């Protein structure tokens, strides 16, 4: 890199040197005299003032004189290397990253534990009729697919403003997306009611439950996203546990209907979640410096920049639930409606999701380490060492790829042995069958492999997001979704509905392969993508 040798450079006195000091304070390394001229004009200099102050004909002549002085006093210097992080500081960085990833997945663990012990959670119940279970499942899937894009939009823009300390802008953009989310809910409900009325897909008693759970779960997911970007994940875990406790009071103690009990709890969690998000923002805004008054960019610009992230959020949840819809729509058993809930299939997937609890912690640690290393070491490389720069981070990525692969597979094996060992205990103590059903066991094993590979792909996604390349990961996810449908649909029809799980596995493999290739391509041109994302 090139820098000004300032002690020699500013030995002379005079207006010209003082002016150059102001320019270099604004732009340490101007490219040429044209950039200096632009800076002078931004400072209010014009031809008349340049002539009066320095006796030159115009601003460009003044800029040329300043550029001559700059060129004469430039010398090549290396940046002083950053101090290596001390072992204790490094440990705490890794620990915080791991716990943040773990805490992110903690609500899922609370829900599964509740199902194993109490036989119900905030939005599910072991002894539901298949009709009601189908209705709740449809509402749940619709909520995730609807809110996925808004979750990514909030996480991207809201989190960006929070990290910059502009909590007022974060609040405005976050609640703007939340309002859009509610508008989307209303539009989708109206469309659903219209289609259901015209084609008579589900009876009204099922439609009512679908809409009810769809609305409240969407509202909850929006609140969860805000808590995550505010780093208040434990608040939602506590809120979820409170909601389950409310269900327990109304359902077990007061003997009310399970659906009514869950709706009461959902209303409480929804309203409390909204109030908490507002409280978190108000508290954060009080810490801002007074006098900072900024406005959001134009809506068109915001939408354009956030669209790839929005697309990824929608595609991600569509991908996760595609195999379920394929399995539940397979007409090989009693099928009163277009979609019919298959408990054994769902249980296998839910149990396999436990592998993501540890894996999310591993991902957070690895991606944070890569980005931290990139931030503190990139300035140690000169442009002529760009190949060495690329090689360093490509090798680092390959090593971390191997590490996360081993850890993810180990996590899956751990979950398998854990569930397999407690299966008999669950039947004896809680009268809940885990792996006694052959379909559940089969889906559980394949899903463990799929989610282990998905963990690696999610690491790739986070790396590309960190380098502002959401289009790459969205396209990879889209191709994976297509493969999921193309593989899972015929297999479920030709053999058994449970074979839809191979669609998920095939889609994950393709998603992993494409995303890995994209990351390697980016790392092979890392300096370009760093410049593009800056």
Geometric angle at alpha carbon 46, from 42 and 51, rounded to 5°: 140
Among the listed residues 410, 400, 409, the one whose alpha carbon sits nearest the alpha carbon of residue 452? 409
CB 503 within 8 A of CB 443: no
Q: CA-to-CA distance for 531 and 302, rounded, in angstroms?
A: 21
For the chain, state the CA radius of gyration: 28
CB 396 within 8 A of CB 135: no
Q: CA-to-CA distance for 377 and 416, rounded, in angstroms?
A: 40
> Tell me, what's the pLDDT at 28?
64
> Tell me, what's the pLDDT at 208?
92
> Tell me, what's the pLDDT at 93?
63
Q: CA-to-CA distance for 113 and 351, rounded, in angstroms?
A: 11
Neighbours of 419 (CB within 10 A): 19
Distances (CA, A) of 296 to 44, 174, 288, 302: 27, 11, 17, 9
> Tell me, what's the pLDDT at 32?
76
> Tell me, what's the pLDDT at 45?
77
> Tell me, what's the pLDDT at 483?
96
Q: What H or E segment, with its residue span, contains residue 38?
A: helix 33-42
* Residues in contact with 240: Cβ distance below 8 Å, sequence separation at least 6, in sequence order: 107, 110, 111, 122, 269
> Tell me, what's the pLDDT at 9?
41
> Tell me, what's the pLDDT at 448?
94
The residues of the chain scoring below 50 in pLDDT are: 1-13, 75-80, 82, 429
């Amino acid at each position: 890199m090139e820098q000004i040798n300032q002690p020699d450079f500013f030995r002379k006195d005079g207006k010209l040197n003082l002016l150059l000091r102001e320019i270099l304070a604004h732009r340490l390394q101007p490219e040429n005299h044209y950039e200096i001229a632009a800076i002078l004009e931004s400072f209010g200099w014009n031809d008349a003032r340049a002539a009066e102050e320095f006796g030159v004909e115009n601003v460009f002549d003044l800029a040329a004189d300043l550029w001559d002085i700059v060129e004469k006093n430039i010398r090549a210097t290396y940046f002083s290397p950053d101090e290596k992080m001390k072992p204790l500081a490094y440990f705490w960085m890794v620990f915080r990253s791991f716990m943040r990833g773990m805490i992110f997945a903690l609500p899922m663990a609370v829900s599964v534990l509740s199902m194993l012990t109490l036989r119900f959670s905030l939005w599910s119940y072991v002894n539901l009729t298949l009709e009601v279970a189908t209705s709740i499942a449809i509402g749940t899937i619709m909520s995730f697919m609807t809110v996925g894009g808004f979750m990514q939009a909030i996480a991207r823009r809201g989190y960006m403003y929070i990290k910059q300390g502009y909590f007022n802008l974060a609040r405005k953009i976050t609640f703007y997306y939340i309002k859009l989310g509610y508008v989307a809910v209303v539009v989708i409900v109206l469309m659903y009611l219209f289609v259901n009325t015209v084609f008579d897909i589900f009876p009204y008693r099922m439609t009512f439950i679908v809409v009810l759970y769809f609305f409240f779960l969407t509202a909850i997911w929006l609140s969860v996203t805000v808590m995550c970007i505010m780093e208040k994940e434990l608040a939602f875990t506590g809120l979820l546990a409170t909601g389950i406790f409310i269900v327990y009071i109304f359902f077990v103690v007061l003997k009310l209907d399970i659906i009514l009990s869950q709706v009461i709890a959902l209303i409480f969690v929804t309203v409390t979640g909204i109030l908490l998000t507002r409280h978190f923002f108000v508290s954060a805004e009080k810490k801002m410096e007074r006098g900072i008054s900024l406005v959001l960019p134009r809506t068109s610009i915001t939408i354009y920049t956030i669209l790839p992230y929005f697309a990824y959020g929608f595609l991600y949840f569509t991908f996760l639930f595609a195999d379920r819809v394929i399995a539940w729509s397979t007409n090989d058993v009693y099928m009163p409606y277009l979609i019919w809930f298959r408990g054994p299939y769902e249980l296998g997937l839910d149990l396999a999701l436990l592998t993501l609890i540890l894996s999310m912690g591993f991902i957070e640690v690895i991606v944070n380490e890569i980005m931290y290393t990139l931030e503190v070491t990139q300035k140690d490389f000169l442009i002529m060492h760009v190949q060495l720069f690329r090689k360093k981070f490509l090798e680092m990525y390959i090593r971390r790829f191997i590490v996360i692969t081993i850890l993810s597979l180990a996590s899956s094996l751990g979950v398998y042995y854990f569930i397999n060992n407690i299966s008999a205990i669950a039947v004896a103590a809680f009268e809940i069958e885990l792996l006694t059903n052959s379909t559940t066991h089969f889906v559980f094993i394949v899903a463990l492999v799929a989610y282990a590979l998905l963990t690696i792909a999610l690491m790739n996604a986070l790396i590309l997001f960190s380098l502002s390349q959401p289009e790459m990961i969205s396209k990879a996810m889209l191709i994976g979704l297509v493969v999921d449908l193309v593989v899972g649909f015929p297999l479920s029809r030709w053999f058994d509905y449970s074979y839809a799980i191979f669609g998920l596995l095939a889609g994950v493999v393709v998603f992993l392969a494409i995303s890995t290739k994209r990351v390697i391509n980016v790392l092979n041109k890392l300096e370009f993508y760093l410049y593009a994302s800056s």
